[in-house]
């Protein structure tokens, strides 16, 4: 972790940069893979899986037998944990449903919106370095609540050509039936163009590494929507003398262990807190099985002492972290000043792992500064809202003259006529 003491404001923009691969390089790789999938479909998926995941598949689709087998490979403890998480995620997302509100904008003119689930959705479950079965809950539960009719799950196979049983158990628990052994760029290509086996979808959801995220961004040029760029994990922690360095270190490492592209940032008003946290990081790192990944991510990471909590919040708003942990006793006083962040964790007990797994909030969140213009996944992500209106005779009489004037001013006489004809009939009847 690189450290900085009271950097000048003019240096902040360099300190808020991410360690991402050149966007142009990624785009080229994605377009090459997409091109081959458009031409060769399933065969391209099998070939790319062999190239990138080092396994030659005989079938892309997970069979019913594999799903049944998975149930016996998961401990009762883990099944219970998944059910607790599922119940909280369901509660948090179910309350996001909105009631239909009809508004009479003018007497006789009624307008309202109704939600419809997006029919065909693709959900990507990361599985390159760890099988993130928790993401199955984060995407599958809101998709089901939204009423999406067709949910297609893609996730990379391991070197035996299998999907981790926890992903299969979780998918089955929440009623997802179409599961395919495809990951990375090739999964996003399959969901974008469709192949003999995998159906093209309307919108693609899910987090992933830089390849997956770049592929989703490119996919938008081919008529498919995406949730947001949800790339390599990030956390920014704001700490002061009321924070607990061993908790802060653990939280920073929890995101560093996701992968070498992850970045973690510590902002503090207290140099001693910085030093104690770094000591804790070094001690805790030793016992992590994913020590190498975390250590690599820490090379991209920063510990910065700033003059005040206000400055820390200002820095965080520029960086726009995926996760912001505000580990200070006064955290709640600063809520109104937080403008850009995917998800915020307040106080010493709100570890980010809670949001990753079981508190109920969604862990699929914007990274790489996209928290400035995107929200994380929610029920809304899986819904389209259709507007409706019904005008009575009184309604068209009330707003008709305004429409006629505006249409005439835009020189759109057919628009005007659509009103005039109705008003004439009404005045004739009257």
Active site residue 323: yes
Which residue is catalytic, options 93, 164, 323, 363? Answer: 323
Phi-psi region of 326 (alpha: psi -120 to 50; beta: other; left: phi over 0): beta
* Strand, helix or coil for residue 12: helix
From the list Zn ion, ligand HSO, ligand NAD, none, pick the one residue 134 interacts with, judged by a Cβ distance below 5 to 8 Å according to partner type.
ligand HSO
Residues composing the chain: 430
DSSP 253-271: HHHHTT-TT-EEEEEES-H
Q: What are the residues whose beta carbons fall under 8 Å from the beta carbon of 192, sequence distance 6 or more?
A: 34, 200, 201, 204, 219, 222, 224
**For the purposes of burial, counting CB atoms within 10 Å of the CB of 353, is it exposed (0-12), middle (13-18) or buried (19 or more)?**
middle
Question: Is residue 363 within the footprint of ligand NAD (CB under 6 A)?
Answer: yes
Cα distance between residue 352 and residue 262, in whole Å: 15
Cα distance between residue 408 and residue 303, in whole Å: 62
Please check if 233 is assigned to a binding site: yes
Binding positions for Zn ion, 391-430, rule CB under 5 A: none
CB of 365: closest distance to ligand NAD in angstroms? Answer: 4
Question: Is residue 356 within the footprint of ligand HSO (CB under 6 A)?
Answer: yes
Please check if 93 is assigned to a binding site: no
Structure-token pair, residue 246: 């061993």
Size of site (CB under 6 A) for ligand HSO: 8
> In degrees rounded to 5, what are phi and psi of residue 386?
-105, 135
Q: How many CB atoms lie under 10 A from the CB of residue 130?
A: 13
Please check if 180 is assigned to a binding site: no
Which among 83-91, 127-135, 270-278, 309-317 is the span making contact with ligand NAD, rule CB under 6 A?
A: 127-135
Q: Which letter does DSSP use for residue 21 in this model?
A: P
x/- map, 351-370, Zn ion, by CB under 5 A: -----x--------------
Strand partners, 180: 61, 154
Among 181, 258, 302, 323, binds ligand NAD (CB under 6 A): 258
Among 117, 208, 245, 395, binds ligand NAD (CB under 6 A): 208
Please check if 323 is assigned to a binding site: yes
Among 316, 363, 377, 383, binds ligand HSO (CB under 6 A): 363
Q: Which C-beta is closer to ligand HSO: that of 132 or that of 185?
A: 132
CB 233 within 8 A of CB 282: no
**For the purposes of burial, counting CB atoms within 10 Å of the CB of 121, is it exposed (0-12), middle (13-18) or buried (19 or more)?**
buried
Active site residue 394: no
Please check if 356 is assigned to a binding site: yes
Q: What angle do CA 64, 34, 116 make, to 5 degrees?
A: 60
CB of 353: closest distance to ligand HSO in angstroms? Answer: 7
Query: Rule CB under 5 A: which residues touch Zn ion?
Result: 356
Query: What residues form the annotated binding site?
Result: 124, 186, 209, 233, 255, 258, 323, 356, 410, 415
> Interface residues with ligand NAD (CB under 6 A)?
52-53, 126-130, 132, 135, 156, 183-185, 207-209, 211-212, 230-233, 258-259, 261-262, 322, 363-365, 367
The residue ranges that bind ligand HSO (CB under 6 A) are: 132, 134-135, 233, 255, 322, 356, 363
Please give the positions annotated as active site. Answer: 322-323
């Amino acid at each position: 972790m690189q450290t900085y003491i009271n950097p000048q404001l003019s240096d902040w923009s360099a300190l808020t940069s991410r360690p991402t691969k050149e966007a142009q390089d990624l785009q080229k790789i994605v377009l090459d893979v997409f091109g081959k999938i458009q031409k060769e479909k399933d065969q391209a998926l099998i070939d790319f899986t062999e190239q990138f995941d080092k396994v030659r598949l005989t079938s892309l689709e997970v069979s019913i037998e594999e799903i049944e087998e998975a149930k016996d490979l998961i401990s009762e403890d883990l099944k219970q944990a998944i059910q607790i998480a599922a119940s909280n995620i369901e509660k948090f997302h179910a309350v996001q449903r909105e009631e239909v509100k009809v508004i009479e904008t003018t007497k006789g003119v009624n307008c309202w919106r109704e939600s419809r689930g997006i029919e065909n959705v693709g959900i990507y479950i990361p599985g390159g370095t760890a099988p993130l079965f928790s993401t199955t809950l984060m995407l599958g539960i809101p998709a089901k609540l939204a009423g999406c009719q067709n949910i297609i799950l893609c996730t990379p196979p391991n070197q035996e050509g299998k999907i981790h049983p926890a992903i299969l158990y979780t998918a089955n628990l929440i009623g997802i039936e179409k599961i395919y052994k495809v990951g990375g760029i090739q999964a996003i290509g399959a969901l974008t163009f469709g192949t003999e086996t995998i159906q093209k979808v309307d919108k693609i959801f899910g987090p992933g590494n830089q390849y997956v995220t770049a592929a989703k961004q490119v996919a938008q040029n081919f008529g498919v929507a995406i949730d947001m760029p949800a790339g390599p994990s990030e956390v920014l922690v704001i700490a002061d003398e009321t924070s607990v360095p061993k908790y802060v270190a653990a939280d920073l490492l929890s995101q560093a262990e996701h992968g070498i592209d992850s970045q973690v940032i510590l902002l503090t008003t207290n140099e001693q807190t910085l030093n104690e946290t770094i000591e804790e990081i070094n001690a805790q790192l030793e016992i992590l099985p994913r020590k190498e990944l975390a250590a690599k991510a820490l090379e991209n990471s920063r510990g910065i002492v700033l003059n005040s909590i206000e400055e820390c919040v200002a820095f965080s708003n520029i960086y726009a972290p995926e996760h912001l942990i505000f580990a200070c006793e006064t955290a709640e006083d600063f809520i109104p000043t937080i403008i850009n962040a995917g998800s915020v964790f307040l106080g010493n007990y709100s570890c980010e792992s809670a949001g990753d797994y079981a508190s109920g909030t969604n862990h699929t969140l914007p990274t790489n500064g996209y928290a400035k213009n995107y929200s994380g996944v929610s029920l809304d992500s899986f819904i389209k809202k259709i507007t409706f209106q019904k005008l009575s005779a009184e309604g068209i009489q009330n707003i008709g003259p305004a429409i006629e004037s505006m249409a005439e001013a835009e020189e759109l006489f057919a628009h005007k006529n659509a009103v005039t004809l109705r008003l004439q009939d009404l005045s004739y009847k009257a």
